[in-house]
Amino acid sequence: MPRAKANIWSWLLGFCLLVGLLVLPQVLSYSQREIAVLLIINVLLVSSYRLMTLTGEWSLGHVVIMGVGAYASALFSKRLGIPVPISMLLGAASAGGVAAILSFPLFRMKGFYFLIGSFAAGEVIRLIWKYFTYPFGGPKGLKLIPGFPDIGSISFFEPEIYYYLCLFVVAVSLFVLYRIERSRIGLTFHAIHWQDKLAESVGVDTFRYRMLAFVLASFFAGLSGALYAHYIGTINPTRFDVEEMVFVLIWAIVGGTVTFYGPIIGVVVLTVMNEVILRSLGFDTARPMIYGGILIVSVLFLPDGLESLIPKVKGWFSGRVKKTGEVLEPEKSP
Amino acid sequence: MSEPVLQVKDLSRHFGGLIAVNQLNFAVMPGAIHGLIGPNGAGKTTTFNLISGFYAPTSGQVIYQGRDVSGMKTAKLAEIGLIRTFQGTTLFKEFTVIDNVRVGCHSSARSGFIGRVLGTDREVEVHATAKAEELLEFFSLESMRDELAANLAHGHQRALGMAVALAADPKIILLDEPFTGMNPEETTRMMQLVRDVRQRGITVMLVEHDMQAIMGLCDTITVMNFGSLLAEGTPQEVRNNPQVIEAYLGSADHAA
């Protein structure tokens, strides 16, 4: 009964992962905990980005959209005095709203044109932040953003505690993203990616679904931005510039975007590599160069991303690899 | 005489200076298998694209079930039962066979967003899957249910294309060259499938080059040439129409 066995293994793996994530802050140093918090926020960012790519459109504005969530949430709490948890949700909703408006000009384009269009739209938003000192704080951005309120004696100012908050929010978000993809909505996104004309011919309103993907992805990107803003306490336009976007792209490409877990593997592996290996060697200022190198190497030697290694690893564990090296249980496409 | 299910009135489409379709008129009766033929470049596919909403007409009207639908979006037309298929094997090749047909069930498998996330759309989806399976059986594809569409033989891919279209609950289905690239055996099977589709109460309109297939299959044939209506009638009438013969073969005067 290979299926039942595989099931036990995946439950076991999931359980180990959960326990690992829960004890992780206890074994890390203070600064490592801070990095862990940012890593979890980035997991949500890159996973939301993948939802967007399901319809086949790659955006260069995703980090700016994250910034919209961060700015909106910061402004709601700082200037209007709305409680932080609510302003976080409002910030995420604002990011979704901005995406809904941007859909109208952007989805007149496809492919490369969409990529450039999304970049331009993102720069416009960033320039608005830079130009208007009120309410956006201009080039210096916003400071003294209120943190997450204490609950009793639990202070979310501590990275350790904030880590658990992020873990909870991101876990719920990932669950929702996963459910979306596994439902008919996800099927329709994929269908639009592969054959948009055929999808239209059976009644799929492709514009509406592209917009839906963009708005949902932006909502969760905005949520990650809000988590970021209330943790760091200060944001500025440079934090959400195209360099950050390139990192998101590299995480997604190196991890692979075919599977749900691909981009997550990408961001985790590259962040751990960056923080543990590069920092210990004193190389961390060369991050852009090294990331570029990794991107080229992975495109050349691992074109399907790190995720393509998972079925092989699974095969080794269950000893069910054919002599040709082909895995018996091919991954369900797409 | 019943009302035509689909009618085009003085339909024209210009591409710059090129007149692809010129003042075209015809009507498709419910339950018919209606053929649209003509030499290459006669404007058949443009006509199809006009009817199915891929282009808006320059002038004239498309009337579907008594309602002017000219220039309406393809997805909207699909929702009210006007479904088209494509030339060649346009499928979701990366999907399994069953998922292809499940996408086709789009209009009938409605559910809210929250329901999708929480999984309360289960009943709708079970229903859609059952419908997809019934269609696979109808097209004798049930044994390939979990294959990738890309791995099917050509004839099976074409049948799957029809299954996807049928899943969208058409009242009239527009088939764009369903017999292209088929061997005689596959053509015969496909002809039977088209008749079976009509048996389900679906009106069929098709564009085709294969004369033998179209003569054996259609009740009415509309012949186009240079964007205009050339002739219309039963296969027998069309076959013996001197203008049609001239359009296809050139006139006796021009023959060297």
Separation of alpha carbons A274 and A315, rounded Å: 29
Q: What is the pLDDT of residue B75?
A: 92
The residue in chain B having the minimum alpha-carbon distance to the alpha carbon of residue A205 is B75
- Residue A323, pLDDT > 80, answer no
Q: Quick: pLDDT tens for A139-148.
A: 999 998 998 8
Q: Quick: pLDDT tens for A84-109.
A: 999 999 999 999 999 999 999 999 99
Alpha helices by DSSP H, chain B: 44-51, 74-79, 97-104, 113-118, 122-138, 154-167, 184-199, 211-217, 235-239, 242-249
Q: Which residues of B touch A210 (CB under 8 A)?
A: none
Look at A203 and B107 and tell me if their CB atoms are within 8 Å: yes
Residue A164 pLDDT grade (very low, low, confident, very high; cuts 50, 70, 90): very high
How far is B5 from chain A, CA to nearest CA, in Å?
19
| ipTM score assigned to the predicted complex | 0.88
> Most A CBs within 10 Å: which of B74, B114, B120, as the mutation test of the A interface?
B74
Q: What is the pLDDT of residue B180?
A: 84
Q: Which residues of B touch A194 (CB under 8 A)?
A: 92-95
> Most A CBs within 10 Å: which of B106, B120, B151, as the mutation test of the A interface?
B106
Q: What is the pLDDT of residue B220?
A: 92
Specify whether the CB–CB gap between A87 and A260 falls below 8 A: no
Look at A201 and B116 and tell me if their CB atoms are within 8 Å: no
Tokens of B79: 């929702």
- Residue B130, pLDDT > 90, answer yes
> Most B CBs within 10 Å: which of A182, A200, A201, as the mutation test of the B interface?
A201
Rg (CA), chain B: 19
Whole-number average pLDDT of chain B: 88
Q: Quick: pLDDT tens for A187-200.
A: 999 999 999 999 99
The residue in chain B having the minimum alpha-carbon distance to the alpha carbon of residue A258 is B94
Q: Which residues of A touch B52 (CB under 8 A)?
A: 201
Whole-number percent of chain B with pLDDT over 70: 97
Which of B73, B92, B121 lies at the smallest CB-CB distance from A191?
A: B92
Q: How far apart are the first and last CA of chain A?
A: 25
The residue in chain A having the minimum alpha-carbon distance to the alpha carbon of residue B116 is A183
Whole-number percent of chain A with pLDDT over 70: 93
Look at A194 and B73 and tell me if their CB atoms are within 8 Å: no
The residue in chain B having the minimum alpha-carbon distance to the alpha carbon of residue A195 is B92
Specify whether the CB–CB gap between A211 and A103 falls below 8 A: yes
Q: What is the pLDDT of residue A185?
A: 94
How far is B185 from chain A, CA to nearest CA, in Å?
27
The residue in chain A having the minimum alpha-carbon distance to the alpha carbon of residue B103 is A188
Residue B256 pLDDT grade (very low, low, confident, very high; cuts 50, 70, 90): very low
- Residue B218, pLDDT > 50, answer yes
Q: Quick: pLDDT tens for B4-45.
A: 899 999 999 999 888 899 999 999 999 999 999 888 888 888
The residue in chain B having the minimum alpha-carbon distance to the alpha carbon of residue A185 is B116
Look at A201 and B165 and tell me if their CB atoms are within 8 Å: yes
Which of A187, A195, A199 lies at the smallest CB-CB distance from B99?
A: A187
Specify whether the CB–CB gap between A194 and B100 falls below 8 A: no
Q: How many CB pairs under 8 A join A and B?
A: 92
DSSP helix/strand/coil, A7? helix
- Residue B249, pLDDT > 90, answer no
Which of B75, B83, B117 lies at the smallest CB-CB distance from A179?
A: B117
The residue in chain A having the minimum alpha-carbon distance to the alpha carbon of residue B99 is A187
C-alpha to C-alpha distances, A183 to A334, B51, B112, nearest whole angstrom: 13, 32, 11
Segment of A87-96, A253-262, A311-320 carrying the highest mean pLDDT: A87-96
Q: What is the pLDDT of residue B252?
A: 57
Q: What is the pLDDT of residue B89?
A: 80
Q: What is the pLDDT of residue B78?
A: 92
Q: Which residues of A touch B102 (CB under 8 A)?
A: 184, 187
- Residue A48, pLDDT > 90, answer yes
Q: What is the pLDDT of residue A330?
A: 44
Q: At A155, which amino acid appears?
A: S
Separation of alpha carbons A275 and A253, rounded Å: 20
Specify whether the CB–CB gap between B179 and B187 falls below 8 A: yes
Q: At B68, which amino acid appears?
A: D
DSSP helix/strand/coil, A26? helix
What mean pLDDT comes out for the span A309-321?
72
Paired residues of B225 in beta bridges: B228
Tokens of B240: 């013996």
Nearest to B203 by CA among B242, B236, B173, B243: B173
Look at A202 and B119 and tell me if their CB atoms are within 8 Å: no
Q: What is the pLDDT of residue B1?
A: 54
Specify whether the CB–CB gap between B29 and B5 falls below 8 A: yes
Q: What is the pLDDT of residue A212?
A: 96
Separation of alpha carbons A106 and A120, rounded Å: 10
> Most A CBs within 10 Å: which of B79, B117, B124, B157, as the mutation test of the A interface?
B117
Tokens of A194: 């592969």
Where along chain A do its domains lie?
A: 31-239, 241-311
Residue A3 pLDDT grade (very low, low, confident, very high; cuts 50, 70, 90): low
Look at B74 and A184 and tell me if their CB atoms are within 8 Å: no
Whole-number average pLDDT of chain A: 88
Q: What is the pLDDT of residue A321?
A: 46
- Residue A267, pLDDT > 80, answer yes
Preceding peptide of B39 cis, ω within 30°: no
Q: At A281, which amino acid appears?
A: L
- Residue A226, pLDDT > 70, answer yes
Burial class (CB in 10 A: 0-12, 13-18, 19+), B3: exposed
| Residue B220, H or E segment | strand B220-225
Long-range Cβ pairs for the range A15-21 (8 Å, 24+): A21/A167
Q: Quick: pLDDT tens for B46-76.
A: 999 999 988 899 999 999 998 999 889 999 9
- Residue B144, pLDDT > 50, answer yes
- Check residues B252 and A214 and name the one with the higher pLDDT: A214
- Residue B213, pLDDT > 90, answer no
What mean pLDDT comes out for the span B95-105?
93
Specify whether the CB–CB gap between A62 and A246 falls below 8 A: no
Separation of alpha carbons B147 and B151, rounded Å: 7
- Check residues B225 and A319 and name the one with the higher pLDDT: B225
Separation of alpha carbons A161 and A144, rounded Å: 20
Residue A333 pLDDT grade (very low, low, confident, very high; cuts 50, 70, 90): very low
Burial class (CB in 10 A: 0-12, 13-18, 19+), A81: exposed
- Residue A204, pLDDT > 90, answer yes
